[in-house]
Chains A and B, each alone.
Chain A
Amino acid sequence: MRYAYFPGCSAESTARDMHQSTLAVAEALGIELVEPEGWTCCGATAGHQTDRVLAAALPAATLVKAADMGLDLVVNCAACYNRMKVANHEITTNKQVRVKVADALGRDYDGSVNVRHFLEVLLDDVGVDAIQKMLRGSLAGTKVASYYGCLLVRPNDVTGFDDPENPTSLDRLVHAMGGTALDWPHKVECCGGGLSMSRTDVVINLTDSIVGMAKMAGADCIAVSCPMCQINLDMRQLDIARRQGNHYDMPILYITQLLGLCLGIAPERLGLNKLMISPAKVVKAVVAA
């Protein structure tokens, strides 16, 4: 299994833990990930709030490099995944956008690169059965609230990822690892995404409601697959405690970190030391399979 792999800008900064754990899990499962040389920023929310052509051209700069490699492009950041998928959709359905993107890039791109989320690779290409055979640890006794946020599942006709209202991709992996995947109502609520700095008040309200609901559902931790969700739910718990007086102490782990632990990978290689809310109790709860 060989793929082009787009780490996304946060992989080099605030989501180095996501990147490290993705690489470690991929290596353990025999998935080869090759970064397109010179990959560039997808433009994120700032891009699509600013200009439609810019929002398509920035992802296209990397997509065209993946096209040259002749490989599917695997993305683990939900935000980058979303922008890549939307750019492909815009370029294939809107002739004017395709022409303008070609002018911006200096070459034509037809929107044909297959963009896959790393979760899709784990579930559809590797498969739950094969993953289970390789597990050395188990989440038995650990209750996990799977949190998908917005950008994996919306717009669903473009991303095609799972069910937009009740996705189960993360839950299936948690279940495969022997953990309890909680049925809870905030799976696809929004954490506030890119407003973390500009409208911290809004983000504190939204994350308080999400983490609070996970706590009420009895979660030991929340599993995520998006760097924005991770940092908002993790770091903003400090503000929620200070400003709202709610102390959740809820570890927010990437699904690749949980999977890495169960594959027997050392916590240091999974970036677990980078979380603001200590995941120690989750790490300790992983028992021999």
Chain B
Amino acid sequence: MAITISRNKSAGGIARRVREISGVDLSVCYQCKKCTSGCPVSGMAQCPPSEVMRRLHLGAGDELLNSDIIWMCVSCETCSARCPMGIDVAAVMDALRKLAVERGAGKPEGNVPLFNRAFLKTVAMFGRTYDIAMIAAYKLGSGKLMADTEKFPTMLRKRKIALLPPTGADRKTVRRIFKKTKEDRAGR
């Protein structure tokens, strides 16, 4: 299959940044496609993991950050576990997600970045996750208001989900962690 890469302003595309963030040597990939064979979402994604690696070799630019695989990837790490060259492909996907957020790539289907923000927001507030607040924030932001609502009555009756926010966490330390890591990101 032919792969077409658009010409980029900076030579080498985003591969250098991906290498810096992930610590992965992309050049040792020889396209055996074992990652793609084991990937649970490769059949649903337009650009499977082995193709992501190849595009990086060929100097792909920011357009790669709009690939559906980046946010469809379930972080199961099967790719890393099976790579004969020991490449941490899952770390490459993490790096691409960070770059996608950093560079304001297009909003992906399902808006996983919004979900991650909603999740971490409750952790920053309570020191632990607070499912109902997280779900509400995600639903409001994504517009998926009705999704799964038919399950809530049963879940509440079975107390399968907590109503009240968590207590007892060392919130002070968690707040400090969020503040310091935010400063660190800004300084990078």
Taking CB atoms, residues of chain B closer than 8 Å to A53 are 181, 184
In the bound assembly, the distance between CA atoms of A40 and B178 in angstroms comes to 13
**B74, A202: Cβ atoms under 8 Å?**
yes
Query: Quick check: which of A22-30, A42-50, A175-183 contacts chain B, the rest being far away?
Result: A42-50
Looking at the complex, which one of B74, B161, B173, B174 makes contact with A193 (CB distance below 8 Å)? B74
Nearest CB on B from A13, distance (A): 4
Known: A13-B161, A164-B81, A199-B109. A41 touches B76 (CB 8 A): no
In the bound assembly, the distance between CA atoms of A105 and B119 in angstroms comes to 20
Known: A38-B170, A41-B174. A202 touches B181 (CB 8 A): no
**B78, A40: Cβ atoms under 8 Å?**
no
- B138: nearest chain-A partner, CB-CB: A197
Question: What total of chain B residues lie within 8 Å of the partner, measured CB to CB?
Answer: 60
**A48, B181: Cβ atoms under 8 Å?**
no
Asked if B44 is an interface residue, CB under 8 A from chain A, the answer is yes
In the bound assembly, the distance between CA atoms of A188 and B76 in angstroms comes to 9
Interfacial residues of chain B within 130-163, with CB under 8 A of chain A in the complex: 131, 135, 138, 142, 144, 147-148, 151, 154, 158-162
- Determine chain B's interface SS by DSSP, over half rule: helix
Taking CB atoms, residues of chain B closer than 8 Å to A153 are 81
Nearest CB on B from A186, distance (A): 10
In the bound assembly, the distance between CA atoms of A149 and B162 in angstroms comes to 25
**B154, A154: Cβ atoms under 8 Å?**
no
Asked if B40 is an interface residue, CB under 8 A from chain A, the answer is yes
**A51, B115: Cβ atoms under 8 Å?**
no
Contact with B along A48-87 (1 / 0, CB 8 A): 1111111001100100010000000000000000000000
Taking CB atoms, residues of chain A closer than 8 Å to B178 are 54
**A40, B181: Cβ atoms under 8 Å?**
no
**A61, B177: Cβ atoms under 8 Å?**
yes
**B112, A198: Cβ atoms under 8 Å?**
yes
Taking CB atoms, residues of chain B closer than 8 Å to A52 are 21, 94
Known: A9-B166, A12-B128, A12-B162. A57 touches B177 (CB 8 A): yes
**B169, A39: Cβ atoms under 8 Å?**
yes
Looking at the complex, which one of A104, A164, A205 makes contact with B177 (CB distance below 8 Å)? A104
Looking at the complex, which one of B40, B41, B44, B181 makes contact with A54 (CB distance below 8 Å)? B181
Known: A51-B181, A53-B181, A54-B178. A202 touches B72 (CB 8 A): yes
Nearest CB on A from B48, distance (A): 14
**B116, A50: Cβ atoms under 8 Å?**
yes
Looking at the complex, which one of B74, B94, B114, B119 makes contact with A192 (CB distance below 8 Å)? B74
Taking CB atoms, residues of chain A closer than 8 Å to B154 are 276
Asked if B66 is an interface residue, CB under 8 A from chain A, the answer is no
Q: Which 6 interchain pairs have the tightest Cβ spacing?
A: A38-B170, A190-B76, A198-B110, A13-B162, A46-B116, A150-B76
